[in-house]
Homo-oligomer: A and B are copies of this chain.
Amino acid sequence: MNKIEVIHTPALLPLYELKDKVVVVIDILRATSTMCVAFKTGVKKILPVANPDECRMFKEFDFIIAAERNAVRVEGFDMGNSPFEYENPILADRNIAFTTTNGTKAIKMAKAMEPHSILIGSFLNLSALCSKIKDSQKDLVLLCSGWKDKYNLEDTLFAGAVIEALGSDFEISDDAAISSHSLFVQHQDNLEALVRRSSHANRFSLLHLQTDDVKFCLQTDAYPVVPFMEGEFLVCE
């Protein structure tokens, strides 16, 4: 039976082996949610980039450049990291170079460890993601992006949601997987209440965002596309 492991933050990634495993990168608030929206809108490719300086260099190659640090858009960039921005039809068939505080870093770290494949997960694509995971017949690693290498609540909660959705097809013997699953089972009837208590949701409320990104990112199966890494790029079938 294939196994599930959960890694709570990229800081713990070096303790794991990813070879021949499927890795799902999770950054619920908001990078991996935003990526699902972007591909649903018709974006062609997303290039995850390490930092704003490197990201800016792709402007001349006809990329839209997007950068977020500490939950706000970096000055001088075309776009930030709110999923609402990525519903704009002007993005159809465009390529985006994207850097965020946590999510794109987690993707790049996972890529460097040469897993079988890297998928993008969020509540927005939960069921489609789980079908793809089941089809793979590989061991699974759920990699939470966390917040600056610290544990976060919403990514762990989503790891638990994936475990619940996969059901009995996978073996849950890893302690972090047992605990993530338990967190989801306890709070599944009111995800929003829990996520509103998270430190990142509190960061948003201090910023007085114009949009309710928390509520948006908890819409299960609203954007059923599964972005995956192909070479250096995220693409979608």
Contact = CB atoms under 8 A, between A and B. Distances in A.
Contact of A198 (B152, B153, B175): B175
A199 B183 CA distance: 18
A151 B8 contact: yes
Q: How many copies does the complex hold?
A: 2
A8 B8 contact: yes
A199 to B, nearest CB: 5
Interface string A86-124: 000000000000000000000000000000000000000
Interface size class of A (residues with CB under 8 A): 20 to 34
Contact of A176 (B149, B150, B182): B150
A186 interface: yes
Interface string A166-184: 0000000111101100110
Most chain B beta-carbon contacts within 10 A, residue among A8, A185, A186? A8
A71 interface: no
Main secondary structure of the interface of A (DSSP, over half): helix
Interface string A3-20: 000001101100100000
A138 B175 CA distance: 30
A215 interface: no
A217 to B, nearest CB: 16
A215 B20 CA distance: 38
A187 interface: yes
A197 B174 CA distance: 9
27 contacts: A8-B151, A11-B11, A11-B15, A12-B149, A15-B149, A15-B150, A147-B175, A150-B175, A150-B176, A151-B176, A151-B179, A152-B175, A153-B175, A156-B179, A173-B199, A173-B202, A174-B199, A178-B194, A178-B198, A179-B179, A179-B183, A182-B182, A182-B186, A182-B187, A183-B183, A185-B186, A186-B186
